Copies of this chain bind each other. A is one copy, B any other.
């Protein structure tokens, strides 16, 4: 097969706010080849990602992503890897390229696996799709009481693991953060897994971040996520060296395998969290999952958007039974909910696993997402180089 078409669909809620809710818009990608269709999703700013696909070439090392994808051979997994290598080299000076590629790469796996009528994780070499403990990923409340109630609700909704993120943490003092951590623990109860995500708030400030460790230990947090900016490996390592029993987690910002490897090797994190919609897709994420195993680092997906992204993000570690925890978007936007006609359901034990159906196993609900489709158009030198394609 040859890749015949790559279509980008920019979806958005009618209103996008400054909430730390990454599901307010979405960039879906549809790839067509040999009479088959595959779907993927970039966890990225839609417009620059589209521009990185269609833009005119600047020079040999700054070509649009399209140049490496359209018309390319797609018959086996090594073809996907070859396309990814070509993007890495021919678009090395186009920073946004990896985010753009990520959704395309997922869609290529989805398509190829559909032609073989097998799930993507099987094509990756896994024999089973292991059950994961989904953690309800949500934002901290404005007050400890809000947080406590959100925790209670998550338990009532059947989650035995909950992550609280962002909100006021790091913007007040150590004491007010401790109150939030304690409220989170109280809300979810003593037996549930508690994860804390502070969204890079401490920059590279190890002392400030370390001051939060006692309260995180008191709340028996499993991990302390993204205390620092994504590339602050030295700060991650310094915090890890404090020897807390709270694991240090990070990785969602990784836009290459090398960045994830460095976070493990130089940053000494205990949990590496990979977003397939940013790192370049499923292939690179799978490579990180293998690296995590040899380093005794726990692999975790990063997913805050749709169940298409969720399925894609589960594939790279679907068969790793010891890597048990998975992020699960607990309160996605209406748009994010609309994407999958067949979302991943928790089983009676409250667990989920990557679908056994062919491809990513997600049926994109065209009619349901039609209302969220934004019209976009890009013109250069009088020529239209992008126009929102027909959803079909």
Contacts and interface: CB of A to CB of B under 8 A. Distances in A.
Given A232-B258, A266-B262, A381-B374, A18 B59 contact: yes
Interface string A34-75: 000000000111111111101111111111100000000000
A377 interface: yes
Interface stretch (A90-98, A145-153, A156-164, A307-315): A90-98
Contacts of A105: none
Contacts of A59: 16-22, 24-25
A115 interface: no
Contacts of A266: 262, 266
B56 A48 contact: no
A88 interface: yes
A45 B94 contact: yes
Contact of A95 (B98, B232, B382): B98
Nearest to A261: B234
A176 interface: no
A12 B59 CA distance: 11
A199 B59 CA distance: 13
Contacts of A12: 56
Interface residues of A, number: 68
Nearest to A50: B51
Interface in A4-32: 10, 12, 16-22, 24-25
Nearest to A53: B48
A344 interface: no
A375 interface: yes
Contacts of A21: 59-60
A377 B231 CA distance: 34
Contacts of A49: 48
A208 interface: no
A43 B61 CA distance: 12
A381 B10 CA distance: 10
A46 B166 CA distance: 33
Interface in A95-126: 95-96, 98-99
A381 B377 contact: no
Given A92-B200, A96-B95, A22 B62 contact: yes
Contact of A22 (B25, B55, B93, B379): B93
B380 A379 contact: no
A330 interface: no
A253 interface: yes
A259 interface: yes
B89 A200 contact: yes
Given A95-B255, A262-B266, A266-B266, A52 B45 contact: yes
Interface string A192-209: 000000011000000000
A57 B18 contact: yes
A323 to B, nearest CB: 24
A266 B12 CA distance: 41
Contacts of A377: 377-379
A376 interface: yes
Closest 10 A-B residue pairs measured CB to CB?
A47-B55, A231-B258, A96-B96, A48-B51, A51-B51, A377-B379, A48-B52, A45-B94, A20-B60, A47-B51
5 contacts: A21-B59, A233-B258, A233-B262, A375-B379, A379-B379
